[in-house]
Amino acid sequence: MSRTRRRLLVAAVAATLTAGIALAPSSTAAEPAAVGDKVVGYFAQWGVYARDYHVKNIDTSGSAAKLTHINYAFGNVTNGRCAIGDSYADYEKAYTAEQSVDGVADTWDQPLRGNFNQLRELKAKHPHLKVIWSFGGWSWSGGFGQAARNPAAFAESCHALVEDPRWADVFDGIDIDWEYPNACGLTCDTSGPDAFKNLIGALRDRFGGNALITAATTADGSAGGKIDAADYAGAVPDLDWLMPMTYDFFGAFTPQGPTAPHSPLTAYDGIPQQGFSTADAIAKFKSKGVPASKLLLGVGFYGRGWSGVSQSAPGGSATGAAPGTYEQGIEDYKVLKNTCPPTGTVGGTSYSFCGGNWWSYDTPQTIAGKKRWAAEQGLGGSFFWELSGDTGNGELITALGS
């Protein structure tokens, strides 16, 4: 089926869904899980260093059995091409028998080691799992602008890398984490509103209809915000699903506050910025014709916090970022649940106030509420950043996958 015909078909499906008539999903992209059933978790390649979180932990925590997909973060985007992000973590690091998923030590001469081989072993143990290689992210999105100038060449480079014979069996597709097309993230992009759509279209043309092609996107639902800056709906015919990053709305990147939950489900009285909530982001995407079944609910497995705060209620002033284990102003759920338990809830998520530090983060209880909301909205499932933030027995993913 041609891309033009595909896009006309999906446009017709979206229009019919808007009228309230449910149709079968388009056959142009692979659909490995039923609508509403997807549970997608990011695995951060750098977790094997200071965090000491390895692919084996996905198995021993019970998370592998609850996941449908793992997004491996990140591949780099540089010189307009897909590139390896960290060769040591990706495919060189040797694992001992104790560290390995299958209990067998790597040898010096085996063709593939590192995370990629561990993911292969994990898939062998959990055959239902699909693994998608994510490219870009906050730090490596600057290369997408150059890639957008020659989408076909970019797609060719990505296909060659993802389908490299050394690890072609590990990956089931590609995820694009462009932060943000035609807008500003770590750097600003001026490639135009069609660049994202054209890039995704080129990937679909090169990877074909059976590969998974997904995208993590902005969740800025404000008027004239980042969702409005690019034609995300135009890319939907070539995408299996979109993942609006409905977290990091607020945080100590504004050091003086006001304190506000970084991942509110809904707006609330006093929210610092209208349009900065999960509900607003999903509503904005739907209004542009993105089917609910191709949108996933985003959850953070971490909190964001401020220090020098004098009130427990949201909206207080602060003096800077709260201390964090790996980065100021950020801490894993597995730590915060013990060091600063929830004080209350606002906007469908929790917050806590301890010794002048103010944190917001999701708990099993607030995740259950978000999941009910996602089901009511007809969303295609959920995704989260990232696996190492959960407890050793997978409290958060259990709430998300139950």
In degrees and rounded to multiples of 5, residue 275 shows phi and psi of 90, -5
Tokens representing 50?
């200071």
Q: Taking the CB of residue 112, how many other CB atoms lie within 10 A of it?
A: 17
Please tell me what DSSP assigns to residue 184: B
Tokens representing 275?
């349009």
| Residues in Cβ contact with 160 at an 8 Å cutoff, skipping those fewer than 6 apart | none
Q: Taking the CB of residue 272, how many other CB atoms lie within 10 A of it?
A: 14
In the annotation, is 31 catalytic? Answer: no
- 120, 129, 132, 217, 249 from 69: Cα distances, Å: 13, 6, 7, 17, 25
Run of H or E including 87:
helix 87-87
| Residues in Cβ contact with 165 at an 8 Å cutoff, skipping those fewer than 6 apart | none
The active-site residue, picked from 31, 121, 179, 395, is 179
| CA dihedral angle for residue 69, residue 211, residue 243, residue 235, rounded to 10 degrees | -170
Place of tokens 């996958």: 401
Residues serving a catalytic function are 179
